[in-house]
């Protein structure tokens, strides 16, 4: 007959160990001091074993207590123990199921039912307040909160909300307005993508809702690494072959660029190769190539790069000019000019002069050099400082650290710079007279508003940029209307063109004269005398202004002023 296993009860934790090495759970029993006689323990199969071992006093007392209490046999007591263990396990299972059910109920309160068969419903105010506790820490950067927001629920609700807004008349909930859906969508997107409410409101005004989601998703992915071949020292074909031999996976940037290469991966640092140190290429974003292409500099011209740091566009201009003519590379930050000088030396640029001046005061400070020696510039490139809303993938801090004051401050600076750039150009240039204005922002206040302001303040007009792709600029935005020629400006987005957000406008200056603001003629304060016995004498006519041009440039009088003049003319002098 096979050997029967015996139970050995452990002293430490009252766990029963079988002789064949198996562990069986035992129930914890309270110790009571009772006198009990030694009795034989029955094995698992109900037969007494030849190798009987004496029980410990505590085990004897517990066994006697069970027998006295129930009057059961030892086999029955073991069965009762098994039943109690099973009941305990069932009780624990029910308790765990209840806890899981409670959690599911709580999550179901937060998660809206987005099934296809059921309609999307807006959450109640209580549910919104409950969710605020979860993700207000993420919005306000309070890292003391230990409960993270449930991004899956928020993402599903964004999708459901978008479906309702696209077919609002059919899918909307009764008694709910479109503004309530938009407010919930803005709140959810701010929590999911970590944007400030101000910036997200601005973006919702610029993009349609489906395109806005694509823009936000594109900002979460870095743009591809691109380089520009320096044709002053090498050709793109030779450079590509040299980098491929070093283990770099690359492709041409696109049909629109003859010098760009896109880098997918590299086994060597792309910014420390012998080719880079020799000045054969420049690490440069794809979008920063476009302003220089729009400027289209010609050989032997005088070019001004008003905000040149770190020197990528300046070196590209010198490359297109083949180191002829003259480039004035200016920047107001002396620290950033160090990188400009280093890059120009490395790339072999010999026709550039570096200056450190405030671009706003450039025509005044350098008037002797500008007009006395140079005779004005043929072309000017202005890459104006901006809020950086087009390069969020490079600087995610823009999501939360920009507000209305920052946007308006940048717009004011850009208006001053663009007027200064226009004043630095010679309209009588045989080959030039062009100004290119660009920013790495997508805000209308920094782009179309600034361009429209320049059209009103200077004798310039917009011309085609020469770029075959890109979206047209806005001619109307909310309650504002811009000049119709703003259609010739170009906008570039990360989700559409896979490059940083950019805006480019190209001006042609047709007159060096600065138009003066016309002052309205002052109305005389004296009125015809109404004192009896006095007669008003007719006043002599004023001489007409000399020159027919001035008469044409004068603005017609305002309607209110016309009415006032007509009333004075109708008054007749009183007789004596």
Q: Two tokens at 434?
A: 């062009």
User: Which pLDDT tens digit goes with each residue over 117-158?
Assistant: 456 666 666 666 556 555 444 444 444 444 556 788 888 888
DSSP letter for each residue of 29-76: -----------PPP-TTS---SS--PPPHHHHHHHHHHHHHH---HHH
The model's pLDDT over 261-311, given as tens digits with 9 standing for 90+, comes to 999 999 999 999 999 999 999 999 999 999 999 999 999 999 999 999 899
pLDDT at 566 over 80: no
Contact of 494 with 218, CB cutoff 8 Å? yes
CA-based R_g, the chain, Å? 41
Residues 130, 105: Cα–Cα separation, whole Å: 14
Tokens found for residue 334: 């002396």
How far is the C-alpha of 40 from the C-alpha of 504, rounded, in Å?
98
Report the C-alpha gap between 214 and 223 in whole angstroms: 14
What average pLDDT does the segment 465-480 reach?
A: 92
Q: What is the pLDDT of residue 155?
A: 86
Q: What is the pLDDT of residues 399-446, one digit of tens each?
A: 999 999 999 999 999 999 999 999 999 998 888 899 999 999 999 999
Q: Which of 386, 410, 438, 440 is the catalytic position?
A: 440
> Which candidate, 316, 329, 326, places its Cα nearest to that of 282?
316
Q: How far apart are CA 451 and CA 486, in angstroms?
A: 8
- The share of the chain scoring above pLDDT 90, in percent, equals 50
Average pLDDT over residues 454-460: 94
Q: pLDDT confidence of 50, banded at 50, 70, 90?
A: very low
**Could you tell me which CATH class the domain 286-509 is placed in?**
alpha beta
In the structure encoding, which two tokens stand for residue 411, read together? Answer: 């717009």
CA–CA dist 316, 387 (Å, integer) = 24
In contact, 435 and 462? CB cutoff 8 Å: no
Confidence of residue 29 (pLDDT cuts 50, 70, 90): very low
109's enclosing H/E stretch is helix 74-110
Residue located via tokens 């004011």:
412
What's the CA gap between 271 and 277, in Å, rounded? 8
The CA distance from 345 to 361, in Å, is 28
Catalytic (active site) residue 357: no
**Do 226 and 260 meet the contact criterion of CB atoms below 8 Å apart?**
yes
Bridge partner list, 229: 281
Instruction: Indicate the pTM of the whole model.
Output: 0.68
Mean pLDDT of the region 221-245: 95
Average pLDDT over residues 196-210: 92
User: 137-151, 166-180, 226-240, 535-549: which range is least confident on average?
Assistant: 535-549
Instruction: Please report how the helices 337-347 and 312-321 are oriented relative to each other, as an axis angle in degrees rounded to 10.
Output: 30
The DSSP bridge partners found for residue 124 are none
Give me the residue spans of the domains in the chain: 125-193, 224-283, 286-509
pLDDT at 27 over 60: no
DSSP 510: -
Count CA atoms closer than 13 A to 381's CA, side-chain side.
Answer: 32
Of 37-51, 102-116, 177-191, 507-521, least confident by mean pLDDT is 37-51
pLDDT at 10 over 60: no
Q: Check: CB of residue 387 under 8 Å from CB of residue 443.
A: yes
- Mean pLDDT for the stretch of residues 500-525: 76
Q: At what angle do helices 74-110 and 57-70 cross, to 10 degrees?
A: 90
Of 170-179, 209-218, 328-337, 561-570, least confident by mean pLDDT is 561-570
Q: What is the pLDDT of residue 26?
A: 45
Residue 31 has pLDDT above 90, yes or no: no
In whole angstroms, give the CA distance from residue 124 to residue 115: 19
Lowest mean pLDDT among 5-9, 95-99, 103-107: 5-9
Binding-site sequence positions for S-adenosyl-L-methionine? 307-313, 331, 358, 383
User: In this structure, are strands 480-481 and 476-477 parallel, antiparallel, or unpaired?
Assistant: antiparallel
First to last CA, the chain: 155
State how far the Cα of 249 lies from the Cα of 264, in Å rounded to an integer: 6
Can you tell me the distance from the alpha carbon of 381 to that of 360, in angstroms, rounded to the nearest whole number?
A: 14
Please state the separation of Cα 534 from the chain's center in Å: 76
Per-residue pLDDT band for 180 (boundaries 50, 70, 90) equals confident
pLDDT score of 513? 87
Architecture of the structural domain at 224-283 = 2-Layer Sandwich (3.30)
The encoded tokens of residue 414 equal: 């850009």
Q: Where residue 568 falls among pLDDT bands split at 50, 70, 90?
A: low
Q: Token pair of 498, please?
A: 């896979």
Residue matched to tokens 């957000």: 501
pLDDT at 570: 52
pLDDT at 564: 55
Q: What is the mean pLDDT of the chain?
A: 77
Number of C-beta neighbours around residue 262 at 10 A: 18
What residues are paired with 477 via a beta bridge? Answer: 480
Strand partners, 492: 502
Q: According to the model, what pLDDT value does residue 64 have?
A: 75
Tell me the pLDDT tens digit for each residue of 381-399: 999 999 999 999 999 999 9
pLDDT digit string, tens, across residues 52-80? 456 667 677 777 776 766 554 555 555 66
Mean pLDDT in residue range 372-378: 72
């Amino acid at each position: 007959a096979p050997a029967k296993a015996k139970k050995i009860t452990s002293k430490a934790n009252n766990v029963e160990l079988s002789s064949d090495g198996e562990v069986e759970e035992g129930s914890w029993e309270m110790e009571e001091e009772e006198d009990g006689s030694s009795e034989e323990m029955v094995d698992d199969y109900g037969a007494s074993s030849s190798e009987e071992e004496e029980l410990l006093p505590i085990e004897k007392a517990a066994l006697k207590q069970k027998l006295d209490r129930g009057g059961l046999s030892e086999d029955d007591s073991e069965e009762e123990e098994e039943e109690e263990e099973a009941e305990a396990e069932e009780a624990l299972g029910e308790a765990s199921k209840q806890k899981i059910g409670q959690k599911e109920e709580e999550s179901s309160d937060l998660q809206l039912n987005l099934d296809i068969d059921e309609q999307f419903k807006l959450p109640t105010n209580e549910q919104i307040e409950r969710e605020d506790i979860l993700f207000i820490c993420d919005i306000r950067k309070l890292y003391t909160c230990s409960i993270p927001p449930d991004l899956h629920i928020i993402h599903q609700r964004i999708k459901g909300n978008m479906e309702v807004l696209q077919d609002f008349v059919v899918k909307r909930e009764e008694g709910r307005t479109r503004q309530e859906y938009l407010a919930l969508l803005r709140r959810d997107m701010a929590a999911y993508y970590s944007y400030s409410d101000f910036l997200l409101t601005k973006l919702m005004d610029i993009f349609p809702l489906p395109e806005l989601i694509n823009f936000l998703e594109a900002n979460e992915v870095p743009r591809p690494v691109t380089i520009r071949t320096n044709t002053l020292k090498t050709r793109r074909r030779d450079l590509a072959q040299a980098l491929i031999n070093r283990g770099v996976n690359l492709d041409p940037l696109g049909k629109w660029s003859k010098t760009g290469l896109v880098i997918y991966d590299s086994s060597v640092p792309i910014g420390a190769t012998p080719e880079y140190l020799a000045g054969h290429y420049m690490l440069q974003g794809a979008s920063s190539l476009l302003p220089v292409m729009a400027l289209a500099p010609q050989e032997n011209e005088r070019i001004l790069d008003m905000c040149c740091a770190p020197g990528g566009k300046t070196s590209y201009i010198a490359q297109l000019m083949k180191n002829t003519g003259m480039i004035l590379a200016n920047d107001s930050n002396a620290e950033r000019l160090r990188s400009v000088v280093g890059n120009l030396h490395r790339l072999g640029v010999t026709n550039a002069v570096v200056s450190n001046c405030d671009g706003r005061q450039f025509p005044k400070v350098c008037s002797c050099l500008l007009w006395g020696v140079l005779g004005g510039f043929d072309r000017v490139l202005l890459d104006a400082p901006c809020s950086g809303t087009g390069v969020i993938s490079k600087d995610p801090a823009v999501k939360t650290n920009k507000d209305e004051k920052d946007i308006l401050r940048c717009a004011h600076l850009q208006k001053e710079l663009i007027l200064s750039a226009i004043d630095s150009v010679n309209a009588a240039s045989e080959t030039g007279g062009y100004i290119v204005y660009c920013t790495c922002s997508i805000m209308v206040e920094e782009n179309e508003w600034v361009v429209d302001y320049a059209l009103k303040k200077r004798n310039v007009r917009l011309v085609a940029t020469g770029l075959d792709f890109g979206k047209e600029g806005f001619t109307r935005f909310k309650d504002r209307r811009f000049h119709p020629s703003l259609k010739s400006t170009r906008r570039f987005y990360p989700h559409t063109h896979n490059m940083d957000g950019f805006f480019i406008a190209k001006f042609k200056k047709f007159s060096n004269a600065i138009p003066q603001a016309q002052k309205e003629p002052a109305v005389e304060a004296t009125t015809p005398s109404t004192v009896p016995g006095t007669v008003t004498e007719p006043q002599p006519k004023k001489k007409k202004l000399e020159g027919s041009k001035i008469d044409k440039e004068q603005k017609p009088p305002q309607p209110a002023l016309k009415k006032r003049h007509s009333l004075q003319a109708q008054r007749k002098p009183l007789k004596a």
